[in-house]
Amino acid sequence: LQLKYIFPITPIYPQLNRVEEDGTQDTVAALAEATRTSYIRGTWVFTDSSHSSELQYCIVAPCLPGTGNYTAYNDWVSANKDGVPSSSYTEGVAQNPAFRISAGLTFTAQLLHVLAYYLDVRMPFKMLYSDFCSNDMTCSQFARRVARLNSNVLCLCASQDVPTELIQPIQTLQNIMHLLNIDISDLGRVGPLAPQSWLCSSAISQLIKDRTNGDESNSEDGDNLPPEWEAVPLVQVSENVSGILSHSPPQQVMSTQATSMAGGLVTSAAASIYSIWKGWTTRN
């Protein structure tokens, strides 16, 4: 029900331009297309998703490119970096590429959290619903968050045995559609992840590059513990000790743990008494 009513995903196929009998493009269509494009960074880009020439996926309301190319967001940020929208970007919110893409990716992140919860899969990268809602993301921050989202999608696809030949690491919603197709995936599968051949593809390498390249810290991505948590050092256990514990009966293990705790308390108490005695002798 959630996929049908809350997070519906609908493919939107490209519209073909109307051609006149003499083989030339309709003048009206050409003018309309010109009003939906803008020259940014040396290339002409579409600013209106409703007349795109590529396959798109509509999640809830906003549309995302089926190719997984979200550079239109960066193009809009580049055109409005001074805070003044250019003449080509005076369209409404529904047609604004930055708002549309950020909204679509936000819905995708929410859907991914729901799927991971019901499939009982721990995603490799922690993401917040508001990661794509920020209006001051730089290009590198945006690329990094998209790479993290795509990596989580790949993890879910791998856990549900989606065929490797259907996976395109950067095509976010298309991969989710394959994941939800019970004729393709083993939806509901429980078990360890099997090694997948597409984990070594060039697209995966690009995802890794985007995840590690950026000007935001790991704490902003939610990887680190909150500052109020105390950092506890990792103590390496020798092989002899681990072997003894693994072959010891439960009573002996509990006794060993109790002895270790008691020894720690005695050491702490001795250190406290020594500190008090040292301070008292220093004053006298």
Residue 242 contacts residue 185 (beta carbons within 8 Å):
no
Is residue 96 in a domain?
A: yes
Is residue 262 in a domain?
A: no
Identify the CA nearest to 153 among candidates 82, 53, 57, 77: 57
Provide the whole-model pTM: 0.62
| pLDDT greater than 80 at residue 23 | no
Structure confidence by residue, pLDDT tens digits, 187-196: 888 877 666 6
Predicted local distance difference test score (pLDDT) of residue 278: 53
Is residue 277 in a domain?
A: no
Is residue 264 in a domain?
A: no
* Most confident among 12-21, 40-49, 68-77, 246-255 (mean pLDDT): 68-77
- The vertex-40 CA angle with 43 and 85, nearest 5°, equals 155
Structure confidence by residue, pLDDT tens digits, 90-100: 455 556 778 88
104 vs 20, 90, 131, 132, 224, CA distance in Å?
36, 20, 12, 9, 27
Percent of the chain with pLDDT over 70: 48
Is residue 38 in a domain?
A: yes
Structural domain harbouring 178: 2-220
Predicted local distance difference test score (pLDDT) of residue 93: 56
Predicted local distance difference test score (pLDDT) of residue 46: 58
Structure confidence by residue, pLDDT tens digits, 113-155: 999 999 988 888 888 888 888 777 788 888 889 999 998 998 8
Is residue 235 in a domain?
A: no
| pLDDT greater than 90 at residue 276 | no
Dihedral angle, C-alpha 74, 75, 79, 83, nearest 10 °:
-30
Is residue 276 in a domain?
A: no
| pLDDT greater than 50 at residue 274 | no
> How far from the centroid of its chain's Cα atoms is residue 238's Cα?
37
* Most confident among 7-21, 169-183, 232-246 (mean pLDDT): 169-183
Q: What is the DSSP string of 147-206?
A: HHHHHHHHHHHHHTT--GGG--TT-HHHHHHHHH-TTTS-TT--SPPPP-GGGGSHHHHH
Predicted local distance difference test score (pLDDT) of residue 12: 87
Predicted local distance difference test score (pLDDT) of residue 31: 61
Is residue 33 in a domain?
A: yes
In the chain, how many domains are there? Answer: 1
Structure confidence by residue, pLDDT tens digits, 222-245: 444 344 434 444 445 454 544 544
